[in-house]
Amino acid sequence: MDAAVAIGRAENVDAMRLDSWSFNSSAHAFFESEGFTPLNVVFERKLL
């Protein structure tokens, strides 16, 4: 993660976004421990 952040900063990227499944709470905890905050929630309804 540190390397990705360093590359982003070197390239003047203003933000990084991560994506994970809603049930992946261990990934969420890791992302938050790395300084990321939740941005939005996507809802889905199966139609078939």
pLDDT value at position 12? 98
Domain residue ranges in the chain: 2-33
Interval 23-36: pLDDT, tens:
999 999 999 999 99
Angstrom distance (rounded) from CA 33 to CA 47 = 36
Distance CA 32, CA 45 (A): 27
Short-list 1, 27, 30, 33, CA closest to 16: 1
User: The tokens of 2 are what?
Assistant: 């540190």
Q: Where are the alpha helices (DSSP H) in 1-48?
A: 2-10, 25-33
Please state, for a pLDDT cut of 70, what percent of the chain lies above it. Answer: 100
